[in-house]
Amino acid sequence: MLFLLPPSETKTRPAADAPHLDLPALTHPELTAARETMLRAVQRTAAGRDGGAKLGVPASAPELTERMAELSDEPAGPALRVYSGVLFDQLDPAVLDPGANAPTDRRVLIQSALLGVVDAAQDLIPAYRVSAGSKVTRLGKAGTWWGKHLRPLAQTLLEETAHSTAPLAIDCRSGAYRTMMPLHSTAEVRVLAVSPVQERAGVRKVVSHDAKRYRGWVVRALLDAPSAPPTAEAVVEHLLAAFDGTLGVELDGDSLVIVDHAE
């Protein structure tokens, strides 16, 4: 089973004595050249005029722009400990610790406007500030630029997932990051987009502001399962049991609908 997560804008900076970002050591080495190009471009952007604004750094945090200009020298830590926010707050980094009893039939990847894709269990990353909408010197919009570089990886991921015991991809990404690396269901792999809705008096409304929290709950519940549910129907069954009546779970085509029955 493959999980695809969005990154978070908020990140926790690793300790100053942590190792620096090592691009060749990251998983998916076929992306190393593209990662090097983006890293250089981000550093040039941060060092230039209006660099912070182009990268999306808040005006109240000029020191973050300075750090982005020297990003290759920033300390790097485990991805699940660097990314923070409502989705990642639901995930215990220890669940994916390779040295513990991490599930071998599940893999969690995080989309990144800086690095393309990072492996939540293995990759060490810095606390960066680059989003899919960042305007990067010479490259344009980061998300658009990554599109052509990630297309071959998307095909590889589908092929790998097709040969797993649970040929499913649980897509928790937002629209901008889905566009960076589109993944669609095939005859061998079912790709399910997690879609939270709130239902009140029989009327459903898409959850947007707090959607990441619901997606975090889904990922955590599926990672906590003794084994990866092998079918979409089994995913629904497991989540219904895990949520114990607090949330509804339905399949609507390739959408995994999480229903919050508001009072």
Contact 161, 2 (CB under 8 A): yes
Average pLDDT over residues 27-38: 98
Helix (H, G, I), strand (E, B) or coil at 183: coil
**Kindly report the CA angle at 6 between 230 and 149, in degrees rounded to 5?**
95
Q: In this model, does residue 18 exceed pLDDT 80?
A: yes
pLDDT at 101: 66
Question: Distance (Å, rounded) from C-alpha 263 to C-alpha 201?
Answer: 8
Q: Which residues contact 18 (CB under 8 A, 6 or more apart)?
A: 75, 76, 77, 124
Q: What is the mean pLDDT of the chain?
A: 94
Buried b (16+ CB within 10 A) or exposed e, 73-91: ebbbbbbbebbebbbbebb
- Predicted structure pTM score: 0.94
Contact 173, 6 (CB under 8 A): yes
pLDDT at 100: 58
Least confident of 45-59, 67-81, 97-111: 97-111
DSSP 21: P
Q: Tell me the pLDDT tens digit for each residue of 216-237.
A: 999 999 999 999 999 999 999 9
Average pLDDT over residues 19-43: 97
Proportion of the chain above pLDDT 70, given as a percent: 97
Q: In this model, does residue 188 exceed pLDDT 90?
A: yes
Least confident of 142-146, 185-189, 202-206: 202-206
Helix (H, G, I), strand (E, B) or coil at 193: strand
Question: Distance (Å, rounded) from C-alpha 225 to C-alpha 131?
Answer: 32
Question: Distance (Å, rounded) from C-alpha 253 to C-alpha 211?
Answer: 19
pLDDT at 59: 82
Contact 79, 153 (CB under 8 A): no
100 or 82, which is more confident? 82
pLDDT at 217: 96
Contact 64, 46 (CB under 8 A): no
Helix (H, G, I), strand (E, B) or coil at 77: strand
Burial of 251 (0-12, 13-18, 19+ CB in 10 A): middle
Average pLDDT over residues 4-9: 95
Q: In this model, does residue 136 exceed pLDDT 80?
A: yes
Average pLDDT over residues 28-35: 98
